Every structure is written in C-alpha cells, then in structure tokens.
Amino acid sequence: LHPEDRCPGVLRLHEAADGRLARVRLPGGRLDVRGLHALAAVARLGNGIVELTSRASVQLRGLPEGSETAAAEPLAPAGLLPSPSHERVRNILGSPLAGRHPDALGEIDALVAALDRGVCGDLELARLSGRFLFAVEDGSGTLGEHRADVVLRAAGADRFAVQGGSPVACEAAVTQALALASRTLHDEPLPAPPSSAPAVAIIGAILQSDGRVAVSGMARLGRLDGHVLQAVAELAERSGTSVRVGPARTLTLLDVAATEAGVVRARLGELGLIVDPASGWVGLSACAGEGACASARFAVRAAAARRGAERGPGSGPEHWSGCERRCGLPAGVVSSMGADR
C-alpha cells in the first residue's frame, strides 16, 4: 500500500461527516444493467446520495460504520469488485463513447479491458497510489482535460500511442503502459503525458458513427439519488444498452436505436439529469460541502445550486469550494468560487 494513500474504496471506506463513503472504480466508466442495480443496492445501505466523480468513479455516501462486507456483497457478483487487492488502483478513464463518436480514431473497449486485467494481474501494481491514473482516449476529444499519469491514445484500428510514442498494437500498448506504472513504484520519473484538451460536449443525443445514438445526461453538481440509478438500469434494460459514466459527471446510454433516442432523452430529463448541452448547469461543479464535510465554512452546494439556476448557456467552467482545499477542482479550472471570495 502506498504510504500516503488514503483514497477510499469499497473495502476501505472513508469517514465523512455524513457517514462512511465508498468509491467504486469503473474502468472506462463501464456499467451494465447488473452493475447499475448493484450500485443502487449499495446506495440504499447509506443515505441514498450517489456521486459521479471527475475520474468517472461512483461514490456512495452515508453508509454505516463497518459496512464494507455489506457493500461488497452486491458489487462482487456484478463484476464491480474483480480484485479485492487492486480495487483502488483500477483507475482507468476512457472516452465516454468508447470509439463510437464520428471523430473517434479507434475503438477502446478491448484495450481498457486488457489494461484492467493487466493491472489486476500484477501483484506489484497493487502498491500503486490510489491517485495513479491511466487515460484511454479514442481520439474524438470527448474525454476532456484530465491529469492522467499515463495516456494511451487511439491512432487507428488497433493502434495506440502510449505517452505520445509511436503507435503500437493493443497488446504492446498495454505492456508499455503497465511498465510505466511499475516505474513509479521504483521512484523513476515518467515521461510527460501528452496534453489533454477541453471536452467536446457530450450531453443530450449524439449520433454515433454507426447510425445509432448515444444519449447522455449530466448529474447536477455531480450528484443523483440512488433511485435514479435504478431507473437508468430499467431504461438501459428496455433499450438493450449499456451505460458509461463520464468525467463530466454524465451517464451515457450507448447504442440506442435512432427511433428511441428521443424517448430515452426525455426519460433522463424526467429523472432530473441535464440533457440540454446549452444548460447553465453544464460546467458547474462543487465540492462535497455542507452536510458531507466538516470543513465547509458555508453552504457551498446551496450557493452553487443557486448559480446553476441563474447561469445561461455557455457560462464556462465554474467550481465552488467550501474551504481553501478546493477539493474536486476540475483539471483546467484555475480558481474556485466561495473559498476564494
């Protein structure tokens, strides 16, 4: 275990002001119907608050002390806890449409899965910091700015450039990425990752290159209720689709038939998710704040929510913090509201 690593997981809960918090890693943001039901079940153990993080993980809040086993029980059979020893180091961001966007240069699902297997299959990598992050980009520019340590970028069918190097096939790319991760355990510096750029908005209905549609809804200030996960699971089941969690705090249903996209989008809107890319809520974020963090000096989330109702289209990134620590400040956002004022 990394000596300074206090990142929570499922088997190591974080003690917050509103109870214990579990963080579930989702390599590539992938969630199937079973996974959505399992997360909803864990949310019911706690206060029902579900958070989507800037690393496309899911956090479940307000769990009782000592509920690690109860939390793991629904997650393991749903495939969300494949390696207890590596659960906190499976940090793999992936482009939310995973190669389906018309501007994508290649598919990434197989690479993300192989990288995850590689991480979990390497005993030494269990000692990685819980902050260590891989990013797998499909070349569409939809992943957005991030602070990944190792970047794998699609450069054509089954070709990936690792850390800006020459493109290689999937298997070799995984080997290179794992070797870079291993170097950090021996205090060897890594070559700088290629720069990332602000995301192309993927909120609402986005036409995929195969003619089907990805339908995406954003959680206001990164939070939703557990019952929304349950409802999204039912929606995904009816549409025969799977879901991706994106770092812009989105839930995206992939491969929706074009004839059903309008209904799916309307349903996500009914569930309280933002489905209009021009909404003032887009680009607005806030830390855990009042009720969840004892350091919050004022009702930061309530203040941010008032801003969300006021902001117009294209208001730009804005982050609200309850104290100088500025937790959750997104990559590329230089200052925050609240604590800085």
Binding site for ligand SF4 (CB under 6 A): 287-289, 293, 295-296, 321-323, 325-327
Closest distance of CB 243 from ligand SF4, Å: 27
Q: Give the burial class of 185: count Cβ atoms within 10 A of its Cβ; 0-12 exposed, 13-18 middle, 19 or more buried.
A: middle
> What would you report as the CA-atom Rg of the chain, rounded to the nearest whole angstrom?
19
CB closer to ligand SF4, 110 vs 327: 327
Closest distance of CB 90 from ligand SF4, Å: 24
CB closer to ligand SF4, 226 vs 289: 289
Q: Which of 213, 216, 202, 214 is nearest to 271 (CA)?
A: 216
Specify whether the CB–CB gap between 59 and 18 falls below 8 A.
Answer: no
CB closer to ligand SF4, 174 vs 286: 286
Closest distance of CB 46 from ligand SF4, Å: 17
CB closer to ligand SF4, 39 vs 288: 288
Specify whether the CB–CB gap between 151 and 112 falls below 8 A.
Answer: no
In the block, tokens 């959750």 appear at 328
CB closer to ligand SF4, 238 vs 325: 325
Q: Give the burial class of 63: count Cβ atoms within 10 A of its Cβ; 0-12 exposed, 13-18 middle, 19 or more buried.
A: buried
Contacts of 69 (CB under 8 A, 6+ apart): none
CB closer to ligand SF4, 284 vs 287: 287
Closest distance of CB 309 from ligand SF4, Å: 21
Specify whether the CB–CB gap between 99 and 108 falls below 8 A.
Answer: yes
Closest distance of CB 219 from ligand SF4, Å: 17
List strand residue ranges (DSSP E) for 131-239, in order. Answer: 134-137, 150-154, 160-162, 204-207, 213-218, 223-225
Closest distance of CB 20 from ligand SF4, Å: 16
Closest distance of CB 297 from ligand SF4, Å: 7
Phi, psi of 253 (to 5 degrees): -90, 125
Closest distance of CB 177 from ligand SF4, Å: 31
Closest distance of CB 51 from ligand SF4, Å: 11
| Torsion over CA: 291, 296, 298, 300 (sign) | negative
CB closer to ligand SF4, 103 vs 340: 340
> Rounded to an integer, what is the distance from CA 141 to the centroid of its chain?
16
| Torsion over CA: 269, 275, 276, 278 (sign) | positive
- Type of residue found at 205: A
Report the DSSP pairing between strands 318-321 and 336-338: parallel
CB closer to ligand SF4, 307 vs 326: 326
CB closer to ligand SF4, 52 vs 214: 52
Q: Give the burial class of 198: count Cβ atoms within 10 A of its Cβ; 0-12 exposed, 13-18 middle, 19 or more buried.
A: middle
